[in-house]
Amino acid sequence: MMRQIARRVPVAYGAAIRQVHIEKRIEELGYKLPTVSAPKGNYVLTRRLNDNTVFTAGHLPLPPDGGDLITGKVGDDLTAEEGYEAAKHVAINMLASLKYELGDLDKIKGLVKVFGIVNCVDGFPNQPAVINGFSDTIVEILGDKGKHARSAIGTNALPLNVAVEVEAIFEVEE
């Protein structure tokens, strides 16, 4: 019953119902989906489970222009703000992997869970602020579909000395 009411309310007020097109939103925000690179090891970037759940591998901060990975230890080589920017790149890279898996980003029903890891110095307390770069970018693009549960932790090293790594679980259309 609630679903029918929700659909009727905008029409009753003369507003058009429109579907959000995620790729158009990405473009409007000035982002560009990069070409998906092959994994750096013996794994896959995404794994679909039960037709409507996609698990991602850890994604890394590679700028969309194909530059070098963003490396270094937050709190020493990088500031928290630079870590935040690195995490934004991870979000765009992850969406590119999902586009490759799904064919259409509009098939994303929601982001369920995020696990973010920050390569940081001992005593660095702001891992959540760094991983906000990922979370803020995803919510900016997906809107309410991008709101998620999350963990953000720090570690003394990450593969290839990257600044951040993020993995996630998405609910998708079958």
User: Phi then psi for 173, rounded to 5 degrees?
Assistant: -70, 150
pTM: 0.87
Alpha-carbon distance of 136 to 150, in angstroms, equals 12
Mean per-residue pLDDT of the chain: 90
pLDDT, one tens digit per residue, over 51-96 is 899 999 999 999 988 889 999 999 999 999 999 999 999 999 999 9
| Position 93, amino acid | N
**Per-residue pLDDT at 3 exceeds 80:** no
CA dihedral (133, 90, 123, 129) in degrees, to 10, reads: 10
Residue 147 burial (CB count, 10 A) = 13
